Every structure is written in C-alpha cells, then in structure tokens.
C-alpha cells in the first residue's frame, strides 16, 4: 500500500481540539518534526506513516495538515513487573490541521505535546459554550463543577434530559462552572469539553480530507461568532485572566482529585512510584498515592513569602508547594512532589505536581472576593456579594451563646444532663421542648449532634465551640459536617435500625460512663424510630439543618461582609472571604436537596 493509499484508508471521528494562534507563531516543518519526535518518544519502530505540511484547498482556502502514526509497546496494567513477551502493542496518531490562524488537533494515545500547545490559546470559554446555541437548541446534558471551596460540598454533578431548558432550575447555578455539555440542533448532536477546547460531533468516521472540510466549517463559524447571552448565562461567568493576573492575591486553595481517581478507575494511570537517587543510580519504589492525597483534600491557606516573592501553600505534609502565575494560567511547583511519578498505561509518565497543574485539580479563592480560579479558567460568581443581605437571614442571634464555655462540658459518672454553659445544654434548653422526640447522636458515625423529630419535620443540630473568634477553619469544620450528612435527613429504614442500639444507650465520653440518656425526649426509641419513618414519608415532610456556634457574632459578621461588599479594608479580611464562600456553599448544598438551613450564633 502506498503512502497515499494509507492516507486515504484512515477514518477518524469529527472530534478535535481547537486552538487560536493569536501571536501568529510560525509553524515550520522543523517545528512539526520536533513535535512528532516528542510525541512518539515511546514508539517501538519507525513511523508507520508520517506526512508533514500536506496542502488541501477547501472553499478557496489553503489548508495544511500533518499526521504521524506510530506503534508502541507497553506493559499490561494487570502485572506488577515486566515479563518477557508479556507486552501490549498499541497504535497512536497525531493529526495537526492549520487553517488561517487556527489549529485543529485530532489525536489518540498521544501525550507530551504540551510544550507545543502552550504557544497557542484554547478557544475562548464564552465562544465555545455558545458557538452552537440558537433558539431551537436542546440541551441534553450538563456536567457541572462546584466552585465552592468547602471540602464536603458536592464537587461535581451531571444532569441529563431531553431538553434541560425545560426542567433545570437555575437556583444556585452561579456557584457552578459548566465543564462540558451535550446539545442537539435538529438531527445534529455535539458535545463540548469547555476546559480543554474540545468539540465532538456525533456521527460516522470520515476521511482526513472530510475531517479537514469539517474543520474549515468550524473555523469559519468561530470567526463569524458574536458574544450573546444564552440559557447558559446562569452559570458562573468566565473572566479574562490575563487582564487581571497582576492584581490577583490568592488566599486559599482546595485540591480536587476526582479526575485523578477517574484515571485510576479506567486504568489510564497504572502505577505510582517515588523516584530517588542513590549515588549514580535512579531508583524507584511503589507508593500509595491515594492514601497520601488524603492530606490535601481540605482547604489550605495561601500566604505570601515576601523574601522569595512567592505565594506558598500551607500544608502539614509537603511544605514546598508554590503557586506560579504564568502568562495564561496558574500552575503549581513543588520539588518534593516532582519525584512522585504517575505511570500511565500508554507508557508515558508524569509527576503528580505536573498532573495537578495540567488538569487544574484545584480551586483558588482570592482577595478579590467574587473571583475563583478552576479548570484553567478564572470565574466570577456575580451573585456572591449581592446575596449578602439574603445570606444574613439564616443567622439567628442568641444572647445565651455569649456565655457558653464549652461544646459539651466535663463529664462525671451518674451525670444525667449536659453541663451548664455548654452548647449541648443550650440546644436542649432552647429546642427540645417543641419536638416530639429529641435524640443525642453525637460520636460513633454521627449524623448530627442532636436530632429533633416532629410529625412532618426532622431537624439536625450541629454544634461547635471555639475560643478563636471569627474562625474560618472552625466554621469550615461545622459546615462540612452539615454538608456530608444532608442525605441522612431522609435515611432508609435499615439505617434507622442500625442506629437503634446507640440511641437506646447512655452517653459515654472521655472514658466516663454517664447516665445521660441519648433519647433526650420521648417514650422509647422504637416509637422515635417509627415517628422518624412516618415523618419522612409524610407528603409535607420538611428537613432542616441548624448550626449552633459560639465563635461568630451576627453583628460582627454582617459588618465584615458589608465591608467586603463596600471595599472597606479591615482585619481578618481573608477569614471573612472564606466564611462568605462557606455560607454560600452551605446554602447551595441545602437548596440542592430542598432543605432549610439556619445558623444560631452570638448577637
């Protein structure tokens, strides 16, 4: 088969990554040769096919394309050490199409092209998300990522319908970025991966020439596109990172590893090792990356080191993580994490810190309150500051919380009530009387510290004492506790039965066996469980979440949040920003499951 016959035998999907060559960088034959060499470093033989800068004329426009196809060997993912003749042989290809100042890329089983791609700009988020949208467009699927930095918040969600315009509620959508979507226009289905500038048109595979025709139509459509508001405008608004880069002051970062876990699930990543040096030898040893990453899945402070002029991430496990504000993106640097290597099933490898940077597996908050960075994009929650007045409505002030000196108090044998001036005692004195049943569920995989059961309502009370006033970290703890237990407001029957023995016992803490009955109000635990079941089956059932804290004053919080809104400088500004995001996250999480939320605090 001749080279031309091989070219004509290739069929590929209309699935491509689009980049804009805004700087008019010359893509020479030499540059393509270097790209193909780097992309094929793992090849096991000569290129099966290689064509550089072939020319096509489509609609009177001259188009150049380059393609390489190669074979490589890799160790099967189901064996630990290499065994002679136990190898998998795979094929890979890379197709580059140049149309005016745009580059269209199709690839399979190819990596190590980042140095080439970073010369160009991915298609603008606003352009890509609205490129195929018109009045008749049906939105079939949304994949959303939460921009909130609460580590217990719902991180991602996927929604699917015949047309989401008809049944998607925009309530709280400003807290989410749209990471991908699938839409339909007439008989044409298209999926868009917004953070990677990828367009996938559903349909049959076509020849390279037909692929180039499709690419030319795409580029023409992009050039003619104008900004417009659409149904998608309800989500967080993308911002121009480059124009505000020099003004950004990061204050916190949350690492998100769902993408990494997915790569382990589908065996894209086969193994993890630590690489180290012993004299002239480069050695490796296996490493449990999943266990290690647990040390990172919590909001971390970012501080400025004026001596080195860098922003550092405060982490108790790794102390050399820094943020890098590049021309077009924010990445991370860590010499220590550079030695933790992820090995991919296609034979490629990448350090964990480079993986985190390339996949943008983090969310950053800034001193500029309503900005957040995620998925290589800067976003603005346009409603965050405007919602402060509404946010404050969930805060209920109590003078008694001024005097609380502990969460539960000290314990003695024979004790039947929680200590005076404890938050637990405050909760029982203020909220127990109205309930049909009142249960202390503290400790032992708790759903809440207290649970109140009514005829058609269940309330979870989460309590938190802290001596540090206006503490963002303490607020994060209790918000996270509330968020992770939202589903337990409506448990299944077996879950309630599993709670029976605990709820039918006395409360024990600090090694002291007290006589405090966990059933704080009600005849017996069986009746309480039956009432719980009846309540959640009631068609008028209502679930509520109540946080009870003594380290935040309602008046101080309101003043600080208004100062944020008005741009007034004040102490503990960073804490106020984090607390504002946690409030927004908590309200959004409760709205998601149709639950009300209240926060009881000092006046």
pLDDT digits (tens, 9 = 90+) for 487-530: 999 999 999 999 999 999 999 988 899 999 999 999 999 999 99
Look at residue 323 in the predicted model and tell me its pLDDT.
97
Contact between 574 and 367 under an 8 Å Cβ cutoff? The reply is: yes
**Domain closes at, from 182, 217, 235:** 235
Are 344 and 457 part of one and the same domain? no
**243 band by pLDDT with thresholds 50, 70 and 90:** very high
Sequence-ordered alpha helix ranges (H) in 310-385: 352-359
Separation CA 382–CA 396 (nearest Å): 26
**Residue 579's pLDDT is what?**
95
531-550 burial, b if ≥16 CB within 10 A, otherwise e?
bbeebbeeeebbbbbbbbbb
CB of 216 closer than 8 Å to CB of 414: no
pLDDT digits (tens, 9 = 90+) for 245-283: 999 999 999 999 988 999 998 888 988 999 988 877 888
Q: Is residue 465 within 8 Å of 477, Cβ to Cβ?
A: no
If asked whether residues 413 and 345 sit together in one domain, one would say no
Q: Model confidence at 154, in pLDDT bands (50, 70, 90)?
A: confident
> For residue 171, what pLDDT is reported?
79
Is the pLDDT at 47 greater than 90? The verdict is yes
- pLDDT recorded at residue 346: 75
- Residue 42 CA, distance from chain mean position: 32
Q: Which positions ≥6 away from 129 have C-beta within 8 Å? A: 178, 181, 192, 194, 230, 232
pLDDT of 80 > 80? The answer is no
pLDDT tens, position by position, 198-230: 999 999 899 999 999 999 999 999 999 998 889
Cα(194)–Cα(508) distance, integer angstroms: 52
For the chain, the C-alpha Rg in angstroms (whole number) is 28
pLDDT range class, residue 75, cuts 50, 70, 90: confident
pLDDT tier for residue 82 given thresholds of 50, 70 and 90: confident
Residues 554 and 406 in one domain: yes
Check whether 174 has a pLDDT greater than 90.
Answer: no
pLDDT digit string (tens) for 62-74?
A: 999 999 999 999 8
Same structural domain, 310 and 220: no
Whether 284 and 166 map to the same domain: the answer is: no
pLDDT tens sequence across 299-310: 999 999 999 999
**DSSP state, 219?**
H
Distance CA 179, CA 177 (A): 6
Same domain, 276 and 401: no
More confidently predicted of 75 and 232:
232
Q: Is the pLDDT of residue 601 over 90?
A: yes
Q: Residue 506: is it exposed, middle or buried by C-beta count within 10 angstroms (0-12/13-18/19+)?
A: middle
Domain boundary among 335, 366, 383: 383
- Whole-number Å distance between alpha carbons of 126 and 222: 11
- The torsion angles phi and psi of 298, rounded to 5 degrees, stand at -150, 150
**Region for 369 from its dihedrals, namely left if φ exceeds 0, alpha if ψ lies in -120 to 50, beta otherwise:** alpha
Task: Name the percent of the chain lying above pLDDT 70.
Answer: 100
Please report the pLDDT score of residue 426 as a whole number. 98
Residue that is written with structure tokens 């000290």 in the block: 410
Q: Does residue 586 surpass a pLDDT of 90? A: yes
What is the per-residue pLDDT for 183? 97
| pLDDT at residue 77 is higher than 80 | no
Confidence (pLDDT) at 123: 92
Tell me if residue 521 falls in helix, strand or coil: strand
Structural domain for 286, as ranges: 242-383
Same domain, yes or no: 376 and 402? no
CB neighbourhood size of 467 (10 A): 10
Q: What is the pLDDT of residues 377-393, one digit of tens each?
A: 999 987 888 889 999 99
Q: What average pLDDT does range 338-364 have in this prediction?
A: 91
pLDDT at 261: 92
Among 209, 235, 261, which residue terminates a domain? Answer: 235
pLDDT band at residue 19 under the 50/70/90 scheme: very high
8 Å CB contact between 321 and 302: no
Q: Say if residue 426 is in the same domain as residue 503.
A: yes
Same structural domain, 273 and 157: no
> What pLDDT is stored for residue 173 in this prediction?
87
Q: What are 335's two structure tokens?
A: 């010499």
Contacts of residue 12, Cβ cutoff 8 Å, sequence gap at least 6: 93, 95, 106, 205, 206, 208, 211
Count of structural domains within the chain? 3
Tell whether 356 and 411 lie within a shared domain.
no
Rounded CA gap, 457 and 31, in Å?
A: 67
Residue 592 has what pLDDT?
87
DSSP 111-171: ---HHHHTTSEEPPHHHHHHTT--TT-EEEEEEEEE----TTS--EEEEE-S-TTTT---T
Find, among 102, 116, 115, 108, the residue nearest to 197 by Cα: 102
In a shared domain, residues 151 and 280: no
Model pLDDT, residue 132: 96
Residue 490 DSSP symbol: S
Mean pLDDT (whole number) for 282-307:
90
Calculate mean pLDDT across residues 544-557.
98
d(CA 243, CA 238): 13
User: What is the C-alpha to C-alpha distance for residues 24 and 11, in angstroms, rounded to an integer?
Assistant: 30
The whole-angstrom separation of Cα 347 and Cα 345 is: 5
User: Quick one: which H or E segment has residue 238?
Assistant: strand 237-239
pLDDT at 298: 85
Residues 217 and 267 in one domain: no
The pLDDT value recorded for residue 280 is 78
């Amino acid at each position: 088969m001749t080279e031309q016959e091989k070219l004509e035998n290739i069929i590929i999907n209309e699935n491509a990554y689009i980049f804009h060559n805004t700087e008019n960088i010359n893509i020479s034959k030499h540059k393509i040769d270097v790209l193909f060499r780097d992309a094929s470093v793992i090849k096991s033989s000569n290129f099966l096919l290689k064509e550089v800068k072939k020319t096509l004329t489509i609609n009177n426009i001259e188009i150049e394309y380059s393609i390489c196809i190669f074979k490589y060997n890799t160790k099967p993912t189901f064996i630990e050490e290499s065994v002679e003749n136990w190898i998998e042989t795979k094929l890979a290809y890379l197709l580059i199409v140049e149309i005016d100042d745009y580059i269209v890329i199709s690839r399979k089983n190819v990596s190590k092209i980042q140095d080439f791609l970073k010369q160009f700009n991915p298609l603008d988020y606003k352009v890509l998300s609205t490129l195929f949208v018109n009045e008749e467009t049906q939105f079939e699927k949304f994949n959303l990522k939460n921009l909130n930095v609460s580590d217990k918040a719902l991180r991602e969600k996927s929604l699917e319908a015949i047309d989401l315009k008809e049944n998607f509620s925009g309530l709280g959508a400003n807290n989410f970025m749209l990471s991908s979507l699938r839409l339909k226009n007439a008989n044409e289905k298209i999926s868009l991966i917004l953070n990677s500038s990828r367009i996938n048109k559903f349909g049959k595979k076509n020849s390279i020439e037909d692929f180039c025709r499709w690419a030319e139509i795409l580029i023409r459509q992009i050039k003619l596109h104008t900004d417009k508001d659409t149904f998608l405008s309800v989500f967080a608004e993308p911002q121009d990172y480059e124009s505000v880069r020099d003004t950004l002051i990061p204050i916190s970062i949350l690492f998100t590893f769902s993408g990494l876990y997915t790569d382990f699930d589908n065996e894209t990543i086969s193994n993890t090792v630590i690489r180290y040096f012993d004299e002239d030898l480069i050695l490796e040893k296996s490493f449990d990356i999943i266990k290690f990453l647990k040390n990172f899945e919590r909001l971390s402070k970012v501080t400025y080191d004026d001596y080195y002029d860098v922003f550092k991430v405060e982490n108790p496990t790794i102390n050399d993580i820094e943020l890098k504000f590049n021309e077009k993106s924010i990445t991370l640097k860590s010499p220590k994490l550079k030695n933790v290597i992820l090995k991919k099933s296609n034979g490629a490898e990448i350090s964990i810190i480079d993986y985190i940077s390339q996949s943008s597996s983090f969310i950053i908050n800034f001193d500029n309150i309503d900005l957040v960075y995620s998925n290589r994009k800067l976003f603005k929650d346009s409603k965050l500051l405007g919602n402060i007045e509404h946010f404050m409505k969930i805060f209920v002030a109590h003078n008694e919380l001024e005097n609380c000196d502990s969460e539960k108090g000290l314990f003695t044998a024979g004790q039947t009530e929680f200590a005076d001036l404890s938050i637990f005692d405050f909760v029982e004195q203020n909220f127990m009387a109205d309930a049909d049943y009142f249960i202390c569920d503290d400790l032992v995989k708790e759903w809440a510290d207290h649970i109140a059961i009514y005829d058609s309502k269940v309330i979870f009370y989460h309590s938190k004492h802290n001596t540090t006033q206006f503490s963002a970290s303490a607020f994060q703890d209790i918000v996270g506790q509330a968020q992770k237990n939202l589903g337990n407001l409506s448990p299944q029957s077996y879950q309630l039965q599993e709670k029976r023995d605990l709820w039918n016992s006395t409360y024990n803490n600090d090694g002291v066996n007290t006589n405090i009955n966990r059933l704080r109000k009600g005849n017996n635990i069986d009746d309480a469980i039956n009432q719980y079941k009846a309540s959640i089956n009631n068609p008028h059932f209502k679930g509520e979440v109540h946080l009870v804290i003594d380290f935040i004053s309602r008046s101080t919080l309101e003043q600080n949040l208004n100062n944020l809104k008005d741009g007034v400088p004040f102490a503990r500004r960073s804490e106020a920003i984090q607390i504002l995001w946690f409030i927004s996250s908590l309200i959004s999480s409760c709205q998601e499951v149709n639950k009300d939320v209240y926060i009881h605090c000092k006046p």
